[in-house]
Amino acid sequence: MVSRVAFRTCPLCEAVCGLRLRIDDGVVTEVRGDRDDPLSRGYICPKGASLGRLDADPDRLDAPLLRTGDSHERAGWDEAFDAVARGLRPIIDRHGHDAVAVYLGNPSAHSIAGPLYGAAVIKALRTRNVYTASTADQMPKHVSSGHLFGDPTAIPVPDLDRTDHLLMFGANPLESNGSLCSAPDFPGRLRAIRARGGTVTVVDPRRTRTADLADEHVFIRPGGDAFLLAALAQVLFAEDLVAPPAALADRVNGLDDVRALVRDLTPERVAGVTGVAPAVTRRMARALAAAPRAAVYGRLGTTTQAFGTLSSWLVDVLNIVTGNLDRPGGAMFPRAAHLPVYRRRQPFAPGRWRSRVRDLPEAMGELPVATLADEIETPGEGRVRALVTIGGNPALSAPNAARLDRALAGLDFMVSVDPYLNETTRHAHVVLPPPRPAQTPHYDLALLNFTVRDYARYSPAAVPLPEGRPSEAAILARLAVIASGLDATPDDLDEMIIASTLGKAAAAPGSPVHGRDPVELRKLLAEEPVDSLTEQRIDMMLRLGPYGDGFGADPAGLTLARLRDDHPHGIDLGALKPRLDEVLSTASGRIELCPPALAADAARLHAVLDASPAEPGLVLIGRRHLRSNNSWLHNVPELVGGSNTCTLQLSPDDAERIGVRPGDPVRVTGRAGSVEAVAEPTDRLMPGVVSLPHGWGHDRPGTRTAVANRNAGVSVNALTDEREIDPLSGTAVFNGVPVTVEPARTGRRV
Ligand SMILES: Nc1nc2c(c(=O)[nH]1)N[C@H]1C(S)=C(S)[C@@H](COP(=O)(O)OP(=O)(O)OC[C@H]3O[C@@H](n4cnc5c(=O)[nH]c(N)nc54)[C@H](O)[C@@H]3O)O[C@H]1N2
Ligand SMILES: Nc1nc2c(c(=O)[nH]1)N[C@H]1C(S)=C(S)[C@@H](COP(=O)(O)OP(=O)(O)OC[C@H]3O[C@@H](n4cnc5c(=O)[nH]c(N)nc54)[C@H](O)[C@@H]3O)O[C@H]1N2
Ligand code: SF4
Ligand SMILES: [Mo]
């Protein structure tokens, strides 16, 4: 037996933990936290610990599948790519580029392949029908940052390790391990805030395990955040607690406009909507102002709701007006090693095109996934007839996913890059499975822009790819070539991107290679001891980045080979540093604190407050479990069952009123449909609020996920309403969904 140890970054969530794998004869037999990783320092969660089981999952596809009728059969790689060309090309030729839609799911943000080659697939398709999980997730934060800072990817993260006060809205890192804030051992970092005398406040309609760990938990009615955040700002202005530091004084436009905008949104006025007592709101505002260093942080509970962009914006308004933006212990912009700092972006300008059926604006090149079913089902010029999915399961993850599931069945052609035959990919005519995690190299292109310290880590594949098996990067590159219709090879594609990047870098004032010859730079890249053009691209990015060697300009700087060979556990590049100047991309060169689009949308807050109070019905929110990962880890036996099951949580008061006891089956009905689940009364839920986790509903015919099929649960997105979106970002409303709950009449125990 050949036994060895390999190190790699965990690809399963945003915490980017370092893992130490024991590999016996090519099989991962043990997974531990990598104690030498400077960021994660040995931390690991149950998901990371099960990476070996996931890697060896017998249901993981090891060859492409082709669909005939309702069944899928194994095929060779060339045969599968030929089938893709035969499926896609005629649709593009006959109906135009927009007839093919693409959907990129969450795992495509946790790989090298997704960010580097997913973009190439989109570009090659030349379609406006681009959809991703972002419009079921964080798009409001991008839109808010786009307006505030000019750059939708400039999202400040709470400086967890140095703050004195953390005010969290709609985030539950004890289960999620953090999001838009990559912080391995988030729980430990929260405890450390308290241990050094700081405080943590959690605002959530559910008393989560994160709330248990905080100094204070404040219940809020789902969807109430923008009101509460505005009221906090109102108190700060009214009590003269606004203190942007001198450093920001001449960097902010619109301070008075925000003051005027929130003037009427007093704690008293919003209390009916938020459920938060005015005295509590005032105390929170004063605590925020009094803390020497504080950070306000909002996550999924604040984005996937009716006021997603307003909430995301007001979170940063508070960070700015309390002087905590861009300073240690506040909310700071990480500086990723692979992202250039010399490049000025065009100021953010959403709405460059609109969706065909519902006339919804594009943001960051994407349309809302909430309208994908409309685009597939509605006849006429420009109808979506084919779909490419890459690491996504929208048949479970999208709002009113039951409708989207039906729409997928009606497509003329669908190809999925995915390791499983699941609820979405069962509709695909061709399934192209990426290799196992152990066979896949890793660098977190998407997430290293959100780490709480500047940090980089490269993990080569732990186990070699079998002969003839393409990497996911190679699969996507080949798809891009097919989609482009050009007579080119995947290598040509990489060469084009390298040439274009080097050309721009050489021309950009302030770049470390300004004025140099791109041909010479290309030669230098080729001389590096790296394995592939993909690695050369990452090498290029690192060398042009803020910690890079600048192609020799800073001989001690990073290259991919150095990162890989000298820092196999990753490299700590220091605490976050103030860098607003590098980030600001607005036309004015200043922070636009009161962007017109946001100010206009704020009218909706007044409309709600002016309306007569609605009959208080039940509303639904989501729930994540430490051992879950959206829809796709339910096939690992160690991760399902116990407390990780698909129950309907509700407050004991509501349970009594409805007449259900623990374990009773209940029927939950939303606008889009209804499901049956087991009731789990718990005083962790605010009265009037019920909670179902997402990602369940694995009972569909044609899927091949044996463990998940046995632990099916029900799909919460059979209840959610694709018509309800946050207007500025098009993001789905998953929190605050009106539902009714009644004892299930069937008497069937589910
Ligand atoms: N174990 C596990 N980890 C994960 C995932 C997973 O599925 N499982 N998914 C990953 C992904 S894709 C993401 S995006 C992140 C998400 O990371 P988080 O945002 O930390 O995740 P959630 O657990 O969904 O936390 C959202 C919280 O918002 C609360 N909430 C609901 N509605 C409202 C509201 O209107 N206002 C407020 N203030 N709070 C509200 C919910 O009760 C919940 O506690 O997690 C990632 N990590
Ligand atoms: N009601 C409700 N709905 C939600 C949410 C919620 O909180 N409530 N959360 C939303 C959020 S935050 C998100 S991010 C979305 C997620 O939505 P999606 O991204 O659509 O769904 P996932 O469940 O993450 O599906 C991941 C897919 O990728 C595949 N996969 C796994 N590893 C790989 C890989 O290495 N390569 C490739 N190509 N594929 C891989 C899996 O088999 C699976 O099919 O769901 C959203 N939907
Ligand atoms: S916290 Fe996230 S990154 Fe760390 S081991 Fe768990 S799943 Fe992996
Ligand atoms: Mo997400």
Give the tokens for residue 714.
Answer: 């029900």
State the number of CA atoms in the 13 A half-sphere of 575 facing the CB: 13
Does any domain span residue 710?
yes
**Position 128 pLDDT exceeds 60:** yes
Which among 296, 218, 144 is positioned nearest to 602, based on CA atoms? 144
**Position 667 pLDDT exceeds 50:** yes
Ligand closest to the CA atom of residue 399? 2
Does any domain span residue 612?
no
Report the DSSP beta bridge partners of residue 738.
Answer: 619
Decide whether any atom of ligand 2 lies within 6 Å of the 632 Cβ. Answer: yes
Judgement on whether residues 646 and 595 belong to the same structural domain of the protein: no
**Position 412 pLDDT exceeds 50:** yes
Does any domain span residue 733?
yes
Judgement on whether residues 626 and 595 belong to the same structural domain of the protein: no
Residues near ligand 3 (Cβ within 6 A): 10, 12-13, 15-17, 44-45, 47-48, 177, 184
Please list the helix, strand and coil fractions of the chain in percent, rounded to the nearest 5, in that order.
35, 20, 45
Judgement on whether residues 207 and 328 belong to the same structural domain of the protein: yes
Residue nearest to atom 8 of ligand 3 (CA): 48
Confidence of residue 470 (pLDDT cuts 50, 70, 90): very high
**Percent of the chain's residues with pLDDT above 70:** 99
Domain holding 25: CATH number? 2.20.25.90
Decide whether any atom of ligand 1 lies within 6 Å of the 439 Cβ. Answer: no
pLDDT for 750:
42
Mutate to test the pocket of ligand 3, among 45, 181, 182, 629 (most ligand atoms within 8 A of CB): 45
Confidence of residue 363 (pLDDT cuts 50, 70, 90): very high
**Ligand 2 centroid distance, CA of 625 (Å):** 15
Average pLDDT estimate for 406-415 = 98
pLDDT for 749:
44
Judgement on whether residues 152 and 250 belong to the same structural domain of the protein: yes
pLDDT for 112:
97
Judgement on whether residues 3 and 147 belong to the same structural domain of the protein: no
The per-residue pLDDT for range 530-566, each reduced to its tens digit, is: 999 999 999 999 999 999 999 999 999 999 999 999 9
Give the tokens for residue 705.
Answer: 């996920």
Which among 88, 32, 67, 7 is positioned nearest to 484, based on CA atoms? 88
**Ligand 3 centroid distance, CA of 301 (Å):** 21
**Position 748 pLDDT exceeds 60:** no
pLDDT for 616:
79
Give the tokens for residue 475.
Answer: 């699969």
Does any domain span residue 257?
yes
Does any domain span residue 96?
no
Judgement on whether residues 310 and 259 belong to the same structural domain of the protein: yes
User: What's the rounded Cα separation, in Å, for the pair 547 and 567?
Assistant: 14
The per-residue pLDDT for range 163-185, each reduced to its tens digit, is: 999 999 999 999 999 999 999 99
Judgement on whether residues 636 and 583 belong to the same structural domain of the protein: no
Does any domain span residue 28?
yes
Does any domain span residue 705?
yes
Domain holding 647: CATH number? 2.40.40.20
Range of the domain at 8: 1-56
Judgement on whether residues 644 and 589 belong to the same structural domain of the protein: no
The per-residue pLDDT for range 300-345, each reduced to its tens digit, is: 999 999 999 999 999 999 999 999 999 999 999 999 999 999 987 8
User: What's the rounded Cα separation, in Å, for the pair 251 and 644?
Assistant: 47
CA torsion 285-286-289-290 (nearest 10°) is -150
> Which atom of ligand 1 lies nearest, measured to the CA of 221?
35
Average pLDDT estimate for 381-385 = 97
User: What's the rounded Cα separation, in Å, for the pair 183 and 703?
Assistant: 35
Pair 18, 5: CB distance under 8 Å: no
Confidence of residue 746 (pLDDT cuts 50, 70, 90): low
Mutate to test the pocket of ligand 3, among 7, 20, 44, 181 (most ligand atoms within 8 A of CB): 44
Give the tokens for residue 98.
Answer: 């927009």
**Position 580 pLDDT exceeds 80:** yes
**Ligand 4 centroid distance, CA of 336 (Å):** 20
Mutate to test the pocket of ligand 1, among 172, 189, 619 (most ligand atoms within 8 A of CB): 172
Judgement on whether residues 193 and 266 belong to the same structural domain of the protein: yes
pLDDT for 121:
98
> Which atom of ligand 1 lies nearest, measured to the CA of 630?
7
Q: Which of 56, 80, 100 is the last residue of a domain?
A: 56
Decide whether any atom of ligand 2 lies within 6 Å of the 694 Cβ. Answer: yes
Judgement on whether residues 734 and 587 belong to the same structural domain of the protein: no
Decide whether any atom of ligand 2 lies within 6 Å of the 717 Cβ. Answer: yes
Decide whether any atom of ligand 2 lies within 6 Å of the 136 Cβ. Answer: yes
**Position 701 pLDDT exceeds 70:** yes
Give the tokens for residue 379.
Answer: 């006849």
Judgement on whether residues 40 and 161 belong to the same structural domain of the protein: no
The domain total for the chain is: 3
Burial class (CB in 10 A: 0-12, 13-18, 19+), 69: exposed
Confidence of residue 613 (pLDDT cuts 50, 70, 90): confident
Judgement on whether residues 591 and 686 belong to the same structural domain of the protein: no
Confidence of residue 570 (pLDDT cuts 50, 70, 90): very high
Confidence of residue 396 (pLDDT cuts 50, 70, 90): very high
> Which atom of ligand 2 lies nearest, measured to the CA of 693?
8
Strand bridging mode 689-691 / 674-681: unpaired
> Could you identify the residue written with the tokens 């991962």?
28
Q: What is the DSSP string of 631-670?
A: BSSTTSGGGSBTTBS-EEEE-HHHHHHHT--TT-EEEEE-
**Ligand 1 centroid distance, CA of 51 (Å):** 22
Give the tokens for residue 453.
Answer: 């310290």
